[in-house]
Each structure stands twice: as structure tokens, then as C-alpha cells.
Amino acid sequence: MISAGDFRKGITFEMDGDVYQVVDFQHVKPGKGAAFVRAKIRSVMSGVTKDVTFSPTDRFPKAHIETKEMQYLYNDGQLYYFMDTETYEQLPLDREAVEEAMVYLKENDNATVRFYKGKPFEVLPPNFVELEVIQTEPGVKGDTAAGATKPATVETGATINVPLFVNVGDIIKIDTRTGEYLSRK
């Protein structure tokens, strides 16, 4: 059992016959009245997101989520295919399950696929990826304000803010949890 006061991003729990994942949460302690937890939760099965207010003492059964390391193979226009690296079995997933991870994944990259009762519901990219910059504006000489950045598009289509010295063709390291530039090779 997990109480609403213990909610954190990514925690999964069962409520009203469905499984929900905490997308965002906020503990609120008003000057008057009792404290409460305002949470944005997403149904693991249907993908529907809703805002709900809980008492911090509300308790829910924790959902058992299985994870498996899989390799992204290709996209056929509608489905994204992942392969279990142990059994070589292929798993087709629709765009809803993979859309957040695909901005960081190239073909043949490994990703973590999360399952609830055998049904895949989320794909997580590795925490750090190295991608090639395919489009960015050239840095202007003399424009060296502290922390100045510019947008850059990487080979997967994601747009990342990078320092002015990053150029087209550079390989950059990105933290996929925050979408931030870390370094270049």
C-alpha cells in the first residue's frame, strides 16, 4: 500500500479498477484547513490524464510493474518495433506508448519497456544519449554572454538548447530525463 503523501513522479498505483502513474504532484499546506496532495495522474492502460486531489492519508495498492530491456528496431509509419534481446521476439508498439522516448532513440538503441500484467504501456530511453547535431545556427563571434545558448536539432528530430560553440556535425551528450545538453565530443 502507498499513501498519497508518499507520491513521487513515476509511482504507479491501483485506483477504481485502473492503474495510474503519477505524472506530477504537489503537496499543499494551506494556512487554513487540512493539507492535501494535488496530483496529475495518467491511466497506464488508456493513457488518459486527469488532475485529482487526495488527502495525504488516502492509501492505494501499489501496482506491480515489470520492466524489460529491449532494442528499438524500426518504425513502419504506424508502429514502432522493439526486440527482446534475450528471446529475439519482436513487440510492435503504437505512437502513444513511445512518443516521449522516440525523440532520443535511434534504430538499434536499447530502451526500457514497462509492462503491467503483460501489456506494454511506456518506453523509457537510456538516461544519457549521444546524438549528432544536424541543424543549428552558427555561433556569432563575440557573442559570449555567460550561459548563452541556441537551439540545435539532433538526428532524431529533438530540439535541444546548446552552447554557442556547438556546430553541425558535433556529437553531443544529452540527459533524457531533463532534455538538457551535457557535453560534446
Tens of pLDDT along 125-142?
Answer: 999 999 999 999 887 666
pLDDT at 26: 92
Q: Work out the angle at residue 158's Cα, subtended by the Cα atoms of residues 151 and 72, and round it to the nearest 5 degrees.
A: 155
Q: Which CATH superfamily includes the segment(s) 128-184? A: Nucleic acid-binding proteins (2.40.50.140)
Backbone phi and psi for residue 6, each to the nearest 5 degrees, phi listed first: -100, 10
Cα separation, 181 vs 106, in Å, equals 17
For 44-82, the pLDDT digits (tens) are 877 789 999 999 999 999 988 888 999 999 998 889 999
Sign of CA dihedral 143, 148, 150, 152: positive
Output the CATH code of domain 2-60.
2.30.30.30
Query: What's the average model confidence in pLDDT over 168-185?
Result: 90
Instruction: Please determine whether the domains at 2-60 and 66-124 fall in the same fold group of CATH.
Output: no
pLDDT at 96: 77
What percent of the chain is modeled with pLDDT above 90? 46
Mean predicted lDDT score pLDDT of the chain: 88
Query: What's the average model confidence in pLDDT over 139-161?
Result: 80
Q: CATH 2.40.50.140: does it fit domain 66-124?
A: yes
**Do residues 163 and 175 touch, judged by C-beta distance below 8 A?**
no
> Element (H or E) spanning 185, and its range?
none
Q: Which residues contact 51 (CB under 8 A, 6 or more apart)?
A: 38, 39, 40, 41
Query: What's the average model confidence in pLDDT over 6-31?
Result: 89
Query: What's the average model confidence in pLDDT over 130-157?
Result: 82
Name the pTM for this structure. Answer: 0.73
Of residues 156, 158, 157, 139, the one with CA closest to residue 148: 139
φ/ψ region of 142 (left if φ > 0, alpha if ψ in -120 to 50, else beta) reads: left
pLDDT at 144: 60
Query: What's the average model confidence in pLDDT over 6-28?
Result: 89
Q: Where are the domains of the chain?
A: 2-60, 66-124, 128-184
Cα separation, 118 vs 26, in Å, equals 31
Compute CA distances 138 → 34, 117, 151, 156, whole Å.
54, 49, 10, 20
Backbone phi and psi for residue 98, each to the nearest 5 degrees, phi listed first: -115, -5
With a cut of 70, say whether residue 151 has pLDDT above it.
Answer: yes
pLDDT at 45: 75
Cα separation, 63 vs 27, in Å, equals 22
Give strand pairing partners of 157: none
Compute CA distances 6 → 35, 96, 152, 176, 181, whole Å.
13, 28, 38, 25, 31
